[in-house]
Amino acid sequence: MRVRAAFLLFAQVLLVVLPIHAEDVKKTDVYARIKTDVDAVSSINTHDHLRPFDQIPRAAGPDQALRHLWASSYFGWTHPLAAWPESGSFDDWWKNTQPGFANARAASCYRYLLPAFRDLYGVDFDAITADEARKLSQRIYENSQNEKWLHEVITERANVELMLVDPYWARLDFSTHYPFTVALCNVTSLVRGFHPSEFDNPLDDPYRFAEKHEMEIGSLDEYVAVLDRIVLEAKQAGAVCLKSTLAYNRTLRFDNVAKERAAAAFGRPRKELTPDEVRDFEDFVMWRLVELSAKHDLPFQIHTGHARIQGSNPMLLVDMIQANPKTKFILFHGGFPWIDETGLIAMRFRNVWIDSCWLPTLSYSIGKRAYQEWLEMVPSNRIMWGSDSGMAEAIYGSTEFTRQCLAEALAEMVLRGDLREADAHRIGRQVMRENALEMFPTLRKRLWRKP
């Protein structure tokens, strides 16, 4: 009896100590229940790039639609995708691109589209033949012409109720083009407003905005006044936050530059300025935008991490975050790959939220680990998600990929005994929906599904 008791105790210890493997978790009833519950959440997608239907880039023809979908996804960022051949033959393209697909089987930027092929088209892309791929391409092309398909995929199949759209192609256009989309104000281009020559897109140009509103921009103070008017007009048009993608262009360290130093650059074209003078102006304006974020009660989404890698660590934002406690900062992409630093910042500052948009697509494993580590460090109502895509199939794939990643992370915590299952269900709903409604309360007026 003593031997049997000792054996049972040893077995119990092993269950606690040994890690829960991913393949085991997905076979458990706990995962199945959490995933079912997460899938049922009518979600709020905090970040996407869905263009107006008539402006969505489309393939030149049915045979090119599959390649176009992959080319517009994140696959090509890290894996080779064969160009369309001069022969114009789908079979030639399919043959040429197979090495790229073969070497990406385990890559998250490949795997996140697989649910779309499986669930929307009934296709196992890993095992697809050339003939099946050609037929898939034709179906994708046909669906791309149908706006009802887009609505069905996003709102019904992906179960997204509302989606915040970042119009980086028209940053000062605050209109929405679908009943489920929500506007935001992308301020990225505004930091370089030291001279009108910096702008070639009328829908990015604060000088054109000023002219339209009969405002003068003859000094730095007047430029800041125009920024204030832009943010105010964005809010009045329904925008719920500000957004910056400056991490693609420069370091995220923004010094609190004196107005006199910034004014030295105002009114002069870039060719007459030193890099230090340009940076001083950008830093000064960024701090003013952060202040306007608080003034108009519009949270500030900031791209952190994977972009221009040098200088995109979210730790570089800490001084600005600390100096602006009334501004609500949302750190995008979890700061990938600096997810621990992102968690620490949110742990230390109550005016910081984490958005996991794009993260599972970059690395599913890191995304799963991030959810678990963040939940150990910050309140569960300060984590959000977004699909960060621009085509119906990619939005579906990244949404399903995120739901799976989150459910798996929560199930592992439950199976380890770190979390009650009832709390895991509640947290899943928070991340997928409730936290966004808490952060952007005006969204409640836009909800259209019946409770």
Give per-residue pLDDT as tens, 359-418. Answer: 999 999 999 999 999 999 999 999 999 999 999 999 999 999 999 999 999 999 999 999
Tell which wins on pLDDT, 13 or 129.
129
Q: How many CB atoms neighbour CB 175 within 10 A?
A: 11
What stretches of 40-112 adopt beta strand conformation (E)? Answer: 43-48
Indicate the burial class of 247 (C-beta count within 10 angstroms; 0-12, 13-18, 19 or more): buried
Among candidate residues 257, 261, 332, the one with its CA nearest the CA of residue 300: 332
Return the pLDDT at 24: 87
**C-alpha separations of 189 from 54, 154, 196, 199, 242 in Å:** 25, 29, 12, 8, 12
Distance CA 212, CA 242 (A): 21
Query: What angle, rounded to 10 degrees, do the helices at 392-416 and 421-429 form?
Result: 160
Distance CA 289, CA 426 (A): 35
Structural domain boundaries of the chain?
Answer: 59-144, 160-446
Q: DSSP letter at 431? A: I
Quote the mean pLDDT of the chain: 95
Q: Are 156 and 186 in contact (CB under 8 A)?
A: no
Helix (H, G, I), strand (E, B) or coil at 447: coil
Summarize pLDDT for 25-73 with one digit per residue, the tens. 999 999 999 999 999 999 999 999 999 999 999 999 999 999 999 999 9
Task: Give me the helices (H) in 296-363, please.
Answer: 318-323, 339-348, 359-362
Selected from 3.40.50.450, 3.20.20.140, 3.20.20.70, 3.30.930.10, the CATH number assigned to the domain covering 160-446 reads 3.20.20.140
Q: How many CB atoms neighbour CB 201 within 10 A?
A: 12
**Predicted confidence (pLDDT) at residue 12 exceeds the cutoff of 50:** no
- What residue has token string 């033949």? 129
Return the pLDDT at 295: 98
- What residue has token string 């109720």? 161
Distance CA 130, CA 333 (A): 35
Summarize pLDDT for 179-203 with one digit per residue, the tens. 999 999 999 999 999 999 999 999 9
Query: Which pair of structure tokens corresponds to residue 442?
Result: 């005006």
Summarize pLDDT for 325-345 with one digit per residue, the tens. 999 999 999 999 999 999 999
Return the pLDDT at 6: 45
- What residue has token string 């054109």? 208
Summarize pLDDT for 99-123 with one digit per residue, the tens. 999 999 999 999 999 999 999 999 9
Q: Are 331 and 342 in contact (CB under 8 A)?
A: yes
**C-alpha separations of 10 from 14, 15, 114, 412, 418 in Å:** 6, 9, 41, 21, 20
